[in-house]
Structure 1
């Protein structure tokens, strides 16, 4: 237990110093100012090219989503995820150590052995595919859907809605992603930063008040016209668990036939059945899954 207490202490101390350094020093892979810059750029596009013309500049829940954005991107890491990630790695290695192995023994691909661009592409594709499958689980498992409802409580789409999610979601995502990333080890800081900012930008655009689908590239990249259907309140009968699960890429939905864009979805109603009774503030949304019991009849 002393070892895990040390991990706990070092994780928090290290991340606090990292976060403070991000705020006080500007550099190209700075996550703090990168989030601000990407958000301002996409918000600017919303203002210049609004798809839903009658939607206000400060749409419904704009400030709530802005709070979620910074909380989930920075404070959540400080409170939960850094220690969890470090402790998970140590637990895996402790368990494997009982049989004389360690997690690195399962590494089958070293991305450093490939040219940077090719290794980066593998890292991006593996990460996005695992997250696509995890997203499907969030919609299909009632217990997980109860947490995912926070994200689907958005009823007016805007860039900041991208990061409105319950803190339990990244715990699920990172836990499932941990082993695949360990298998393809070797990615460096630059690769992580590129994938991170690419995913952030695509995610912001997907939720923005923009009527873009990127033409022929819509079959590769997720886009605002496709993703808005993921948030539709009345799902098609043949897809009661959801549609368009893509995170950064839409190609997985087209391959596995979970794509659905029947017409221009600019004015479709967003949310889920019973969202009018869903909590409207941060604190109550966070405790909602704890207080309520998921129903087998729940659907997206």
Structure 2
């Protein structure tokens, strides 16, 4: 038990020191704090220059709420719970495997250092995105997970910062499911992984931005604003119960598994979910919602 308490303590102090370093040191390209700010500003400028919904205000509905979510979920959440929880669970899993004479390395499919870096990172990206696509489907499929995911779908006007409006339990679910698949294929430095994450953040921001782009033939590979807005549509097709267009970065999974749906230009469709008029409008009550809401049938 003492070992796990030390892990928790060291996780807090380690991430706090990391966060301070990110704020102070701007001389490394993989700075997540300023990287997020730069990507956000650039996509926001694109929204202003090429607005799809021209009557939507630059400071749209819930702009500041979503901006707070963006920084809370990307940085403060790690400090409050996520890093300590992740490190503790990882060590517990290693201890359980060790008790039966195994380790995660026993299941490793290949040594990433034996591959060209670009190929290893591509495999990491594809596996990560596919696992996240499946996890996203689960968030819509099971009522108790959907109650967490409602926070993201409570967005009524799309904009870049809506990308990171989500309940704090979502990354716990995502990270729990993808931990083992990634652990058995990848062993990369934070700088290497930063390439993948900055790309994913950029695509995610664009997907939620007030932009009417679909990237031409690349729409069958990359998720895009014209596709993703249908994922947020309040009215689902009659033959679909749990949602459509689950892709995060890649759209290809939706086309392969027939969950794609773009019936027409969705620029002015109503966003949200059934009953969202009664959903909390502020951060605190949105975070508390799953704990006090009744289970849906």
Query: Given the two structures, how large is their TM-score scaled by the length of structure 2?
Result: 0.99
Q: How does 1:152-163 map to 2 (within 5 A)?
A: 152-163=153-164
- Equivalent position of 1:164 in the other structure: 165
SS at match of 1:238: coil
Q: How does 1:1-300 map to 2 (within 5 A)?
A: 1-26=1-26, 27-296=28-297
For 2:263 and 2:293, the matched residues in 1 are separated by: 34
State whether residues 65 and 163 of structure 1, in contact with CA within 8 Å, keep that contact through their aligned partners in structure 2: yes
The Cα shift of 1:264 comes to: 0.5
SS at match of 1:156: coil
The Cα shift of 1:121 comes to: 0.6
For 2:191 and 2:69, the matched residues in 1 are separated by: 26
State whether residues 123 and 187 of structure 1, in contact with CA within 8 Å, keep that contact through their aligned partners in structure 2: no
- Measured against aligned partners, the alpha-carbon deviations of 1:229-259 in whole angstroms (never above 9, x if no partner) come to 0000000011110000000000000000000
Moved over 3 A (4+): none
State whether residues 140 and 149 of structure 2, in contact with CA within 8 Å, keep that contact through their aligned partners in structure 1: yes
SS at match of 2:296: coil
Q: How many residues align?
A: 296
| Larger mean Cα displacement after TM superposition, 98-107 or 273-282 | 98-107
- Measured against aligned partners, the alpha-carbon deviations of 1:181-233 in whole angstroms (never above 9, x if no partner) come to 11102222232100110000000000000000000000000000000000000
SS at match of 1:184: coil
- Measured against aligned partners, the alpha-carbon deviations of 1:154-176 in whole angstroms (never above 9, x if no partner) come to 01000000000000000000000
- Measured against aligned partners, the alpha-carbon deviations of 1:24-58 in whole angstroms (never above 9, x if no partner) come to 00110000000000000000000000000000010
The Cα shift of 1:101 comes to: 1.3
